[in-house]
Chains A and B, each alone.
Chain A
Amino acid sequence: MLVAVVLLVVSLCLFSVAMATLWWMLHAWRTPEVFRSLGFGHAVAGRAESPLSFSLIVPARHEEAVLGATLDRLAELDYSAFEILAVVGHDDPGTQEVADEAARHHGGRIRVVVDHSWPKNKPTALNTALAECRGDVVGVFDAEDEVHPRILRQVAGSFDRSGAHVVQGGVQLVNFQSSWYALRNCLEYFFWFRSRLHLHAERRFIPLGGNTVFVRTDLLLAVGGWDPQCLAEDCELGVRLSSLGARVDVAYDPLLVTREETPGTLRGLLKQRTRWNQGFLQVMRKGEWRRLPTRGQRALARYTLAMPFLQAFTGLVIPISIYSILALKIPVALALVSFLPVIPTLAALAFELVGLREFGRVFYVKPRAYDYVRLVLGLFPYQLFLAGAAVRAVVREMLGLRGWEKTAHTGAHRTADAPASSAPPAEPVPGPTGPEPVPAFTMAAAERR
């Protein structure tokens, strides 16, 4: 009897969670009008130059392989009033050299800010640069980002049109054919930036992304910049600003998104996802979201931030649930009810298949039949993977392993061991790859949604 009641409650909970997730995932496609209003229209050709000026912060750590190209590309942006602040650690001469070279090459466009703080992490680097910003708006890009030249026009247009305090641009992973999890990861980004983020902006509660995010400088200074303690400083900033009532505009255009790549290994992805989940838990514990004005917003905040918990819960419960259906002789009606969560899960899969087609259409790539097959086959392993990352995040948070210091130490240590005399690491693929020690905060924030 107890088993039956527990099974019933758990099934209905899982069903509701899956339904809500599915519904929010499809936010952009609710009606053709919504789809149009969220899709295009931001990228207006030949928009008159806005009077807004930008300071773009590019934090880099041991990323000499990719930083140069990124800075070159940023310096060529189709906009007049902007500056670039490349932030490098004082213990990272290789990267600093690349940054200095770019600064020399591009005249006054690029300045190099050296971060002397310790321990090193991304929010601290950002805060260090914030003090030097002179533009009306601060933007953040990661060292490996591929940025569209017209992005600043689009963002300035968004600021003008909406009067928002914050503009979140789109980010998209594009290497969907590299591996089965890259495919799923790309689609996650696609649904998040194309659809779900707009819902958050509409409801005025938004966990911001880690890059292509633009905040008015005066506001950012007034709230004291990023939280250096948080593993998900971008999400934390978004929640803090939301709870103050700041207006956020999401400027998504498939043409102008910032392109990134998924981590090269599943292990890298696991670490990234763990950090992200753990960051969400930290934001949840910090409780800034409790100051959101309406009950609906608080509910959305609680749900969004508790997602790691829910995922961990799902991951643990599903096997138990299947076991109890098969092994315990429960009534047929109850067994049917306990299969309810499968409906939204499989419906989501169907929408992912359509989403992959749409993704291919929008980004001018043609998914092969193999990709669709891989998407279907990857459903269950990826759920397991997500659940694993969620459990890992919860455990780490409970044990007090607040992450990046330890890994950052390792990274710093290794670099210190290998003196500057050695050749710069030849790493063709941007972002964390392989067993190569990767600076923790890059992983934590580089590919955040």
Chain B
Amino acid sequence: MTQAPDLPRLDPPLERPLDRPLERPLELPPRPLGAPPRRVPSVDDLISGRARPVSVRSPLHQRSVRYARSWIHRHRISLVLLTALLVVVGIVHGVGLSRMPLPVDDEGTYMAQAWAVQVHHALTPYTYWYDHPPVGWIQLAGWTFVTHAFSSLSIAVVAGRRIMLLYAVVDAALLYLIARRLRLSRLWASVGVLAFALSPLAVDYQRMVYLDNLAMPWTLAAFALALTPRRRLWTFGASGACFAVAVLSKETMLLFAPPLIYQVWQRAHRSTRAFCVTATASVFALVVAIYPLLAVLKGELVPGPGHVSLSSAIAFQLSGRQGTGNPFNPSSQAHSLVAGWLHLDPWLPLAGLLCLPVGLSVRRYRPIAVAEAIALLDVLRGGYLPVPFVIGLLPFAALLVAATGSTLSGLVRWESDRRPWAVVKAGTLLGGAAALLVFVVPAWAAGLQTQMATNQVAPTAQAEGWVEHHVPHSDRLLVDDTVWVDLVDHGFNRPYGVVWFYKLGYVNNLDPSVKRTLGGGWRSFQYVIETPSMRAALAGSGSQVLPQVAQAVGHSTTVASFGRGVDTIDVRRITVTPATTTATTIATSAHRPNQSKQNKQSKQTSQTNQR
């Protein structure tokens, strides 16, 4: 061992420049001063065990109660205001939802699928053919289970609309949250909520059992989380997860993926941005990937003989479907659809369009404006425009209205502008707002009045009651999806005793199970319940798309009729000569052997579908 000299000391200490300049300081508020300097235990304390800390944290429930109290105290004004707003939203949406609007077949379809999930633990009553990802009606099934929707006295579609009321209220609350996180004042946040909730267009579409309504809160939640004030990493991940649920509820929400990622990118801090964007994107992509994985596990990813497949469903949705045309072409379907929207309320969509420039020019509002712009462009694109597409447009339009109002009112600077100039500006703005209100308020009041007072549901309920008492339960019925669940609940056989009418057409229907089972086409049925939806489907070139349905209607006579005008529901008895009758009773045991012989390895039959 070498000798031990004294510890050397250098005097003065070496001063060496750093290898590189210090990082530019981050643009963050100064770090809050930490806890006061803590007493550090001495080595003696450590060794003797005196320093071993005891838990000083209070129990979890105490901490949560304390946190909840302080949270409520901090947000008390917003909470009171928001409660009032939500009560208004609840009343406007809730009063009359069992009467308006007219039930459409899509609503019945989703209720039937929720019913299948809840009662038979299958994704659909017929073969699931990947028309839409199933999370929407799985949510719906959760709610119908909780609320005992299928055992209540009202018809299934109305029970579903009660659930939609909840979603509309949540939409409104999330809209307020987003507005506040965009640093809008409480006033303008409330304006946004009211613009969204009181528009007759929004009320009409949000009452209906559409997948878009089931997806919308998740999309809004994704944006609200992406606007996190604390910029926590997990919040961005949660945003991705919410958005994945939205897309798995309704695939058109995918349109909002770019604005969401943009929002995350904009909100995240430079130092952690890459991780935040990765969190949102990877969680989203991986959760959405469960859907194709489902198809893989069922052996239905790619087309094959005798079974549906995800890829053919996607091909159908993207290109197989006949486009609805350009909305500016007066003879196109898209035109009549958009005209229908604007008939209900032109003001909110128009305001959304007019507010776009302001939204795009203010950095903070840009992601929202991009979302609105993308949705609008998709309407104008001229491809297939789904009926409920407008639901996704409206919240962003309302937010833009609030953001624009806030921006414009911010132009009036009472402190810095000269008084006359400020008065002129404020006067112009107030005048504009007043003029707008003079037009908008009466129009909306009239629209909401209609939606609360008119009853378009009654014929459906009456028709169901009549069928239940006058039609033998062993007969086979061709029905609109709207009444399917109720008739099945009333003892008609499913799924081939009451049959969705469009299952008989093979153009818009990739599910081969009905054709396989009911080889006789329209002749297999005894009754057809003709509803406005069915009539609309058969109108124009519809009878070529659904020839069997047209035949059924053509070979039948009305035995009972409910409602008036275009809303009439006819119960029609099909008249076939006995010689041509292939199956007059439902022989469930008869078609089974045939079925299994037809395709053993097929996973398409209704039985296997109930997994």
Contact with A along B1-12 (1 / 0, CB 8 A): 111111111110
Contact with B along A26-39 (1 / 0, CB 8 A): 10011111011101
Q: Report if A354-B274 is in contact (Cβ < 8 Å); known contacts: A107-B8, A336-B294.
A: yes
**B584, CB-defined interface residue at 8 Å:** no
Q: Sorted from nearest, which 10 A-B pairs have the closest CB atoms?
A: A32-B269, A163-B40, A80-B10, A108-B5, A350-B282, A245-B51, A29-B275, A245-B52, A347-B282, A343-B286
Q: B280-300: which have CB < 8 Å to A?
A: 281-283, 286-287, 290, 293-294, 297-298
**B363, CB-defined interface residue at 8 Å:** no
Q: B385-416: which have CB < 8 Å to A?
A: none
- A26 contacts B46, C-beta separation under 8 Å: no
Q: Report if A149-B16 is in contact (Cβ < 8 Å); known contacts: A32-B231, A107-B8.
A: yes
* CA gap between A13 and B399 in the complex, in Å: 43
Q: Return A237 CB to nearest CB of chain B, in Å.
A: 13
**B33, CB-defined interface residue at 8 Å:** no
Select the stretch in A180-188, A217-225, A385-393, A403-411 that faces chain B.
Answer: A217-225
Select the stretch in A110-118, A258-266, A435-443 that faces chain B.
Answer: A110-118
**A134, CB-defined interface residue at 8 Å:** yes
Q: Report if A78-B13 is in contact (Cβ < 8 Å); known contacts: A246-B46, A336-B297.
A: yes
- B interface bracket (residues with beta carbon within 8 Å of A): 35 or more
* CA gap between A82 and B2 in the complex, in Å: 16
Q: Report if A332-B7 is in contact (Cβ < 8 Å); known contacts: A29-B233, A218-B43.
A: no
A36 / chain B contacts, CB cutoff of 8 Å: 26, 28, 31, 271
**B47, CB-defined interface residue at 8 Å:** yes
Q: Report if A343-B54 is in contact (Cβ < 8 Å); known contacts: A78-B13, A81-B9.
A: no
Q: Report if A111-B15 is in contact (Cβ < 8 Å); known contacts: A33-B31, A80-B8, A350-B282.
A: no
* CA gap between A100 and B281 in the complex, in Å: 58
B271 / chain A contacts, CB cutoff of 8 Å: 32, 35-36, 39
* CA gap between A151 and B40 in the complex, in Å: 23
Q: Return A134 CB to nearest CB of chain B, in Å.
A: 6
* CA gap between A37 and B30 in the complex, in Å: 11
- A222 contacts B28, C-beta separation under 8 Å: no
Contact with A along B261-289 (1 / 0, CB 8 A): 00000000101101110110111001100
* CA gap between A342 and B293 in the complex, in Å: 12
Partner of A165, one of B46, B49, B274: B46
- A222 contacts B294, C-beta separation under 8 Å: no
* CA gap between A82 and B14 in the complex, in Å: 13
Chain B's closest residue to A244 (CB) is B46
- B8 contacts A223, C-beta separation under 8 Å: no
Q: A336-365: which have CB < 8 Å to B?
A: 336, 339, 342-343, 346-347, 350-351, 353-354, 357-358
Partner of A109, one of B8, B40, B51, B230: B8
Chain A's closest residue to B275 (CB) is A29
Contact with B along A291-320 (1 / 0, CB 8 A): 101100000000000000000000000000
Binding site for B on A (CB under 8 A): 23, 26, 29-33, 35-37, 39-40, 43, 45-46, 49, 53, 78-83, 100, 103, 107-109, 111-114, 132, 134-135, 149-150, 163-165, 204, 216, 218-219, 222-223, 241, 243-247, 255, 291, 293-294, 325, 331-332, 335-336, 339, 342-343, 346-347, 350-351, 353-354, 357-358
* CA gap between A263 and B366 in the complex, in Å: 50
- B16 contacts A150, C-beta separation under 8 Å: yes
B290 / chain A contacts, CB cutoff of 8 Å: 336, 339
Partner of A358, one of B3, B274, B282: B274
Q: Report if A354-B51 is in contact (Cβ < 8 Å); known contacts: A112-B2, A245-B46.
A: no
Q: Return B229 CB to nearest CB of chain A, in Å.
A: 11
- A31 contacts B5, C-beta separation under 8 Å: no
* CA gap between A218 and B38 in the complex, in Å: 20
* CA gap between A276 and B505 in the complex, in Å: 67
* CA gap between A30 and B23 in the complex, in Å: 20
- B13 contacts A351, C-beta separation under 8 Å: no
Chain B's closest residue to A53 (CB) is B7
Chain B's closest residue to A45 (CB) is B18
Q: Report if A37-B31 is in contact (Cβ < 8 Å); known contacts: A103-B2, A244-B52.
A: yes
Q: Report if A31-B230 is in contact (Cβ < 8 Å); known contacts: A163-B38, A204-B53, A336-B297.
A: yes
**B41, CB-defined interface residue at 8 Å:** yes
- A291 contacts B52, C-beta separation under 8 Å: yes
- A351 contacts B282, C-beta separation under 8 Å: yes
Chain A's closest residue to B4 (CB) is A111
12 example contacts (A-B, Cβ-Cβ < 8 A) are as follows A32-B26, A36-B28, A80-B11, A80-B13, A103-B2, A108-B6, A111-B4, A216-B43, A223-B47, A255-B20, A336-B290, A354-B274
* CA gap between A266 and B592 in the complex, in Å: 60
- A31 contacts B232, C-beta separation under 8 Å: yes
B10 / chain A contacts, CB cutoff of 8 Å: 79-80
B276 / chain A contacts, CB cutoff of 8 Å: 29
Partner of A332, one of B2, B5, B37, B294: B294
- A112 contacts B28, C-beta separation under 8 Å: no
Chain A's closest residue to B34 (CB) is A37
Partner of B1, one of A109, A111, A222, A243: A111
Chain B's closest residue to A108 (CB) is B5
Partner of B278, one of A108, A332, A351: A351
A346 / chain B contacts, CB cutoff of 8 Å: 282, 286
A243 / chain B contacts, CB cutoff of 8 Å: 52
- A78 contacts B14, C-beta separation under 8 Å: yes
- A332 contacts B611, C-beta separation under 8 Å: yes
B37 / chain A contacts, CB cutoff of 8 Å: 163
* CA gap between A45 and B55 in the complex, in Å: 38
Partner of B19, one of A255, A291, A358: A255
- A294 contacts B55, C-beta separation under 8 Å: yes
A218 / chain B contacts, CB cutoff of 8 Å: 43
* CA gap between A219 and B18 in the complex, in Å: 33
Q: Return B17 CB to nearest CB of chain A, in Å.
A: 8
Chain B's closest residue to A78 (CB) is B14
A107 / chain B contacts, CB cutoff of 8 Å: 8
Q: Return B73 CB to nearest CB of chain A, in Å.
A: 24
Partner of A26, one of B233, B286, B293, B297: B233
B26 / chain A contacts, CB cutoff of 8 Å: 32, 36
* CA gap between A105 and B15 in the complex, in Å: 22
A32 / chain B contacts, CB cutoff of 8 Å: 26, 28, 231, 269, 271-272
- A255 contacts B275, C-beta separation under 8 Å: no
**B22, CB-defined interface residue at 8 Å:** yes
* CA gap between A111 and B1 in the complex, in Å: 7
Chain A's closest residue to B20 (CB) is A255
A347 / chain B contacts, CB cutoff of 8 Å: 279, 282-283, 286
* CA gap between A252 and B574 in the complex, in Å: 82
Q: B23-66: which have CB < 8 Å to A?
A: 23, 26, 28, 31, 37-38, 40-41, 43, 45-47, 49, 51-55
**B234, CB-defined interface residue at 8 Å:** yes
Q: Return B571 CB to nearest CB of chain A, in Å.
A: 39
* CA gap between A340 and B453 in the complex, in Å: 49
* CA gap between A354 and B271 in the complex, in Å: 12
B18 / chain A contacts, CB cutoff of 8 Å: 43, 45, 150, 255
- A31 contacts B231, C-beta separation under 8 Å: yes
* CA gap between A43 and B7 in the complex, in Å: 25
- B46 contacts A100, C-beta separation under 8 Å: no
B1 / chain A contacts, CB cutoff of 8 Å: 111-114, 132
* CA gap between A351 and B280 in the complex, in Å: 11
Q: Return B122 CB to nearest CB of chain A, in Å.
A: 11
Give me 20 other A-B pairs in contact (C-beta within 8 A), A32-B231, A165-B46, A293-B53 excluded.
A31-B272, A32-B271, A45-B22, A46-B15, A100-B2, A112-B1, A112-B2, A114-B1, A219-B43, A244-B47, A244-B49, A245-B45, A245-B51, A255-B20, A293-B52, A331-B611, A335-B297, A351-B275, A353-B278, A358-B274
- B46 contacts A222, C-beta separation under 8 Å: yes
* CA gap between A335 and B296 in the complex, in Å: 11
Q: Return A17 CB to nearest CB of chain B, in Å.
A: 17
Q: B555-572: which have CB < 8 Å to A?
A: none
Contact with A along B342-379 (1 / 0, CB 8 A): 00000000000000000000000000000000000000
